[in-house]
Amino acid sequence: MRRKPIPRIFVGGLVLPACALVFVCPALAQSVSAFGASASVVKAPLSAEQVAKKLEERDDQRAASLAQLKATRIYRVKYYGLWGNRDAELVAQVTYRAPDYKQFTVVSQSGSRFIIDHVLKRLMQSEQEYLDDNNDGHSSALNTTNYNFALAGYETTPQGAQYVLDVTPKTSNRFLYRGKIWVDAKDFAVARIQGEPEHNPSIWIRKTEIDHRYSKVDGFWLPAVDHSQSFIRMGGRADLSIEYKDYTITKAAPIAGYEGPGSAAK
């Protein structure tokens, strides 16, 4: 069975597709670019088509290698609107086993009971539903079947060189998005996604913006921080952030081309 790579949307379907966060409580927290003023743009050594092909190949390799992990997530929601301001926070331990098992254990929760019960817990439930319905990953895969890729730049940063690509959906799919992706030039893994859903998830939402970032853990590029912000048609906005931390990869096969802690089977 073909598993979802990093962002199809994340290794082994680790979380929802980039735009799927907006289907429960779309939101965004303003974030400072990790690539910022220190980045310099130079001529890209590869074309957009070459980068997309390598991205798909390497994502398949990483997805096939990752079998099991544990992590902590911190969910935070802030709502500003006509009915006043509300906020909530939920901390959960997450266990993932390929290809489609995920278990959430709530560690703590605070703030608005309505947001916790109807937004955050619903968001966790939606992740499992997405895995059950899309466990082959094809419908939301970041590949040339679903997306057009265009080279927007090539940046050298303190984190290393990165290709910047514009992505636009080829198909009508509520899990797809349009915007920019930053692809690590060494590992050909997505380091950042910035954009908006291809389809508006609700008549109540005027616009949604997303900003997702990834970090490398034992050879696997995993979610680090997700931010989204939705603007409500009747006024107000909702901000959602998810922080991922304390990753422990408990079972993995060697990753082709990577030498390090994650290259040994566990």
Instruction: Write the DSSP string, 114-149.
Output: HHIIIIIHHHHHHHHHHHHH-TT-GGG-SSTTTEEE
Q: Is residue 97 part of a domain?
A: yes
Mean per-residue pLDDT over the chain, rounded:
81
Overall domain count for the chain: 1
For 152-169, the pLDDT digits (tens) are 999 988 889 999 999 999
Say if residue 59's pLDDT is above 90.
yes
Whether residue 263 is predicted with pLDDT greater than 70 in this model: the reply is no
- Residue 148 forms part of a structural domain: yes
Place of tokens 């059950």: 132
Please report the pLDDT score of residue 12 as a whole number. 30
Residue 212 domain flag: yes
Which domain covers residue 147, as residue numbers? 6-244
Asked if residue 27 is part of any domain, the answer here is yes
Q: How far apart are CA 176 and CA 92, in angstroms?
A: 26
pLDDT of 51: 97
Please give the residue that has the higher pLDDT: either 38 or 60: 60
- Whether residue 257 is contained in a domain is answered as no
Residue 1 lies in a domain: no
For residue 135, is it within any domain?
Answer: yes
Is 259 part of a structural domain of the chain? no
Contacts of 118 (CB under 8 A, 6+ apart): none
- For residue range 179-233, list pLDDT tens digits in order: 999 999 999 999 999 999 887 766 667 788 999 999 999 999 999 999 999 888 7
Q: What's the rounded Cα separation, in Å, for the pair 196 and 145? A: 19
